[in-house]
Amino acid sequence: MLVRLYQDQPSSAPAYREFESQNILKRLRVLDARARRKGLDSLDPSKNVLIRIGMELNAEGKVIKNGFGVFHLAWLAEKNPDWASSVQAQVREIQDAIRKAHGVGLRFIIWAGMGGSAEDKSAYLATGLLKKGPRLYVLDSTDPAKLKAILADMQRRSRLPLGETLKRTLVVGMALGMTSYEPVVNLTKISALYERYRIDSQPNFIYMTLPGSLLDRFARPRGYRKVELQLDGGNSTSGRHSSPLTCGSLYPLAFAGVDLKEWIAATFLTEEQCWEALRVAAFLHTQGVAGRDQVTLLLPKAWAGVGIWTKQDFEESLGKSEDLGIKILIQEKVRLADFYPPKDPRQSRVFLAVVRKGEADPVLAKIALLRRAGYPLATLTFPHKAQLSNYMQFIHYVVFGLGYLRKMNFVTQPSVELYKSITSEIVAEAEQAGGLERSCAWRALKETPCQAKFPGGITLFYPHIHQTPEATAITAPQIWASLIRQQASAGMIDYGELTFFGDTRYDPAGRAVRKLMDRAAESLFRRCWKMPVDVYEGPAMNHSYHEMIIGHGRCFSTVLISEKAEQIPEAGYTADYHRAQFLATQQALAQRGRAVVAITLKDLSQTSQRALENFFQEALRYAKSRAASLPATPKPRLAQSG
C-alpha cells in the first residue's frame, strides 16, 4: 500500500501528528477489547472521545451499541480461520433445503435491502464478483416496477412459468436498522406470490436483522431461517459497515464461489496500512477545512463499480455537520474545462485516485494531468490484483480518521431516520383518508400555486424554494434553471442532485430516464455551470447519502417520479408506499431548509421521455443565455480543528 500526496497545502502534517500523539490505533483496539470483554456499562463517554464517535448512546448518555465491529471483525477473523468454511457450509445448507423441498437447484437470488444492506451487493455485481453464481438481483426500492422487472427477467432466463421460477429462487431480506420497513414491504409481496402458486416458501426465504426489528417481527412468525448478522454473533456494525465481513457481505460471495479465505485475509490490514489510511484522512480533512471538500474519486476500471459504496461510506458517516462536510463525486470525467483552476477561490475540489500496481489503466493518465495542473491530489496504490475487500477495509479506516479529527460520530445516521418517520406518517394518514391521493401531503403538492407545466405532461413543483424565479424565467425549465442559478449565486448551494423515484436498473423505461438525467447532469450542471451533480435512484439515495444532503446541505435536489405507477395485482403490490417516500423526501429536506423541487412525468412512455429531454434542453439554453458559469461565492475557510 502506497499513499502519495500532491499539493498538500496547507500541510496535513499537524492533523496526522494528532493521530500519532494520541496513539490512536492502539487506543482503538484497547477500547474495543474492553467493550467486548467488560460490557458497554463499563464505558464512560465523557472520558473517551472514541466512544462518542464510534458508539451509539441513548438519551441518558449511556452506551447502547459498540459500532467498532467494522474493525474488530477483521481482528477476530484472524483468530478464527474457520469462518470462511462456516459460511460456505451454511450456504450449502440453504441450497440443499431448496433442492429437498422442490427438487430443483438454486438459479436466482433476490436481495431485498436498502442502503448499506444493498450497496455492497451492487458493487460486487458491477465489479464481476458474482458472475459465476446464481443470478443476484438487488431489490432496493418499494417501486413495484423494480420487482416486476426482476420477475420478468427471471422468467425470461429460466423459460419457465413464474411458479416454477420461484421454486428456484432464494429471497433474502436484510435490514440493520430497527425501523427499516422497505424489505418488509418487498418480502410481504414476494411471499404472497409463493402463496398464490401454493409453494412452500420457508426453504426459499432467509433474513438478517436485529432482534425485534420490523423485519424480524415479519419473518420470525413465518418460520423463515434467520442468519446472524455477524459470525461472532454480535450486531456491532451499521449497514454501510456490513461489508466486507458480515454475513450480509459474505453470503452473496459464497453463493458465487468466491474464495472467502482470500477475501477475508485481505481485510487484515497491517499497522502500516492503517497509518497510511489515517494519512489520507488527515489530507482530506485539511483540504476540507480549507474549503476544498468535494472529493472527486477516480477508480481503476476493475473497481469502477464500487464508487457508490464509497460515496455512501463517507457521506452517510460524515454528513452531519452544517459547517464541514465531505462530498464524494463519482462517475465524473476529468475534463479541466469543467473545473475551476486550482488558484480560483471558487475551486473546491480535491482528488482521490486509486490504482492497482502494475495495471495499465486510464486513471494513470488522469493522475498525470491533475498533477501538472496543480490540483490537490492523493493517490492510493494497491498491490497488483488486490482484493476489493482490501480497499473496503482501508476506506473504513479513512472514514474513522475523519470522524476522529472532526469529533463526529461516524456510525449513526439521524437524517435517514427523519425521512423514515415522515414516510410512516404519510402512509398512516393515506390509509385513513382512503388512498395516497387523498392525503394532505399529496394534495399539498398537487395544489400548490408554485408549479409550472411543460408540454408533454411534465410538471415542475417548487413550493419549498423561498425565492422568486427571475423575471426572464417564464417556462417550467427556465424557472427550474433560474432557481438553481440564484441559489448558487448566493452561495447557498455548490452541487446538484437528480434523483428518479423509480427503477433505473432493470426496467427499460427507467433506464432510459436515467440516461436522460445523466446527459442533463453532464451538459447542464458539469459543463455549463461547473457544478458537480449526483445522479441516482430513490429511495435508495435516502439510505445511501441522504445524511449529507440533509445534514451538511449546500445541495439543490430535484426529485422526479412518474404519475402513472406500476403495480403487481397478483401480489397486491401498489406504488403507494413508494410515492409516500417521494413526498417524505421532499418534506424531510424542507424541514431542514434544503433546496428541493419535484418534477412529475405523465408516464414513462417514449413521448414522456422526449418531453423530459426537451425540458432539460430548454433549461440548458436558458442557462447558457444567462451566463457561461455560475458566479458562486467561494466557501469560507474554517479554523483548523485539533
pLDDT digits (tens, 9 = 90+) for 441-453: 999 999 999 999 9
Task: For residue 323, give the 3-state DSSP assignment.
Answer: coil
What CATH number does the domain located at 414-626 have? Answer: 3.40.50.10490
Q: What is the DSSP letter of 603?
A: -
CA distance 55 to 40: 10
Task: Give the span between the Cα atoms of 136 and 170, in whole angstroms.
Answer: 9
Using the structure block, give the residue that is written with the C-alpha cell 431448496.
98
Give the chain's radius of gyration (CA, Å). 24
The closest of 530, 527, 531, 577 to 558, measured between CA atoms, is 531
Print burial letters for 520-554: b (CB count within 10 Å at least 16), e (below 16).
bbbbbbbbbbbbbbbbbbbbbbbbbbbbbbbbbbb
Whole-structure pTM value: 0.95
Q: Order of strands, edge to edge, in the sheet holding 327-329?
A: 2-6, 377-382, 349-356, 294-298, 327-329
Contact 461, 442 (CB under 8 A): no
All CATH 3.40.50.10490 domain ranges in the chain, comma separated:
2-11+268-405, 73-265, 414-626
Q: Which residues contact 447 (CB under 8 A, 6 or more apart)?
A: none
Instruction: Say if residues 538 and 581 touch (Cβ distance below 8 Å).
Output: yes
- Write out pLDDT tens, residues 112-149: 999 889 999 999 999 999 999 999 999 999 999 999 99
User: CA 540 to CA 578: how far, in whole Å?
Assistant: 11
Cell of 179: 425501523
314 alpha-carbon distance from chain centroid: 10
What does residue 184 show for φ and ψ, rounded to 5 degrees?
Answer: -65, -40
Domain 73-265 CATH assignment equals 3.40.50.10490: yes
Residue carrying the nine cell digits 458566479: 631
Q: What's residue 636's pLDDT?
A: 63
Beta-strand ranges (E) seen in 205-363 are 205-209, 225-226, 294-298, 327-329, 349-356
CB-based contacts of 482: which residues, under 8 Å, 6+ apart?
469, 470, 472, 473, 622, 626
Fold that domain 2-11+268-405 belongs to in CATH: Rossmann fold (3.40.50)
Handedness of CA 41, 44, 48, 50 (dihedral sign): positive
pLDDT at site 174: 96
Residues of the chain with pLDDT under 50: 628, 641-642
208: β partners: 174
Alpha carbon of 612 to those of 64, 477, 478, 523, 604: distances in Å?
A: 48, 10, 13, 15, 10
pLDDT of residue 641: 47
From CA 372, how far away is CA 204, in angstroms rounded?
Answer: 56
